[in-house]
Amino acid sequence: MKYTPGRTFALLALAVVLASIGAAAAMWSETLMVNVYVSTGEVDVKWSDYYCSDTGSDPQIPDGFSNEEGKDVASCTVEEELYDEENDLIKLRVTLNNTYPGYAVNITLIVDNIGTIPVKLNSSSISEYDNDVLAVRLIPPSDTQIEPGDNATYILEVRVLQGAEENASYSFEVTLVFAQWNEVQ
């Protein structure tokens, strides 16, 4: 046989191909897998405790009114009004009865985080009311984040002003919306 560079190259290429096929066939391998299961948590809050500051002599607006005599004329009650499908208390009814200009009461509201995820107050609102008759303010805690199993205290401050009429009824609604902590700025 006569030496030709093309033939040598072809034989060399064939040898490389055969060696590659042999190495690939002899290679051992093993595959790893991961099964992933994702379980989400729950945002769940409820009212756990509530009470009024009027437990005896009527509290008064600090400037311009006094109840030195210790009269107990007005009353404040907080009642359970609505439960959700899990039987968690989600709505309270506050009734201020027989009030008059100068009457001032704080309603303490305790919110429990009964879910599995930390929550923060996302928003709060107080429906429209006659601000010539009432002064209303919601006082949240300095940090509204509530860890699972913990609670936070909110104060609803209600003052009856000079514009209140005799034998009249006034109402408003307070709404607190909580969300998972990492979505609230």
The pLDDT score that the predictor gives to residue 29 is 87
pLDDT value for 86: 95
**pLDDT range class, residue 153, cuts 50, 70, 90:** very high
- Give every CB contact of residue 97 below 8 A, 6+ residues apart in sequence: 74, 75, 76, 77
* Best CA proximity match to 90, nearest among 59, 139, 51, 50: 50
* Percentage of the chain modeled with pLDDT above 70: 90
Kindly give, in sequence order, each residue whose CB lies less than 8 Å from that of residue 128, ignoring residues fewer than 6 positions away: 172
Q: What is the pLDDT of residues 72-94, one digit of tens each?
A: 999 999 999 999 999 999 999 99
**6 — pLDDT class (breaks 50, 70, 90):** low
Alpha helices in the chain (DSSP H): 5-26
pLDDT at 2 over 80: no
* Per-residue buried b or exposed e for 70-80, using 16+ beta carbons within 10 Å of the residue's own CB: eeeebebebee
pLDDT tens string 10-60: 767 777 776 666 656 667 889 999 999 999 999 999 999 999 999 999 999
| Domains recognised in the chain with CATH numbers | 45-183 (2.60.40)
- Pairwise CA distance, residues 185 & 183, whole Å: 7
**CA 102 to chain CA mean position, Å:** 34
- pTM for the structure as a whole: 0.81
Size of the chain, expressed as the number of residues it contains: 185
